[in-house]
């Protein structure tokens, strides 16, 4: 599971989550796997959007951190194991 938090309240754009999903899907396809996922958005008390993304990964596969890969530069990602 990933938790994605915007650094600032004004940072949201509708295409961000679909762009991230596209990058992760391509990363998994290069390894021969399909992407199964679900996500939900929450509004934090400070007014910034916050996402939770649940991704089913094959045993032994670890997803790289999206912010470190440049897939989601506008936020800080927190993978939950």
Tokens representing residue 4 in the block: 């994605």
In degrees, to the nearest 5, what angle opens at C-alpha 35 toward C-alphas 31 and 40? 140
Q: Which residues fall within 8 angstroms of residue 61, CB to CB, at 6 or more apart?
A: 28, 31, 33
Q: What is the mean pLDDT of residues 55-74?
A: 89
Assess whether pLDDT exceeds 70 at residue 62.
Answer: yes
For the chain, the domains span: 2-79
State the pLDDT at residue 8: 75
Q: Mean pLDDT score of the chain, rounded to an integer? A: 87
Does pTM top 0.75 for this prediction? yes
Q: Is 63 exposed, middle or buried (0-12, 13-18, 19+ CB in 10 A)?
A: middle
């Amino acid at each position: 599971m990933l938790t994605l938090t915007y650094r600032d309240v004004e940072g949201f754009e509708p295409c961000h989550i679909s762009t991230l999903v596209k990058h992760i899907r391509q990363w998994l396809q290069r390894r021969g796997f399909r992407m199964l996922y679900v996500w939900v958005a929450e509004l934090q008390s400070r007014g910034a959007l916050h996402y939770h993304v649940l991704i089913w990964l094959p045993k032994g596969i670890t997803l790289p951190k999206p912010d470190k890969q440049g897939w989601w530069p506008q936020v800080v990602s927190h993978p939950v194991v």
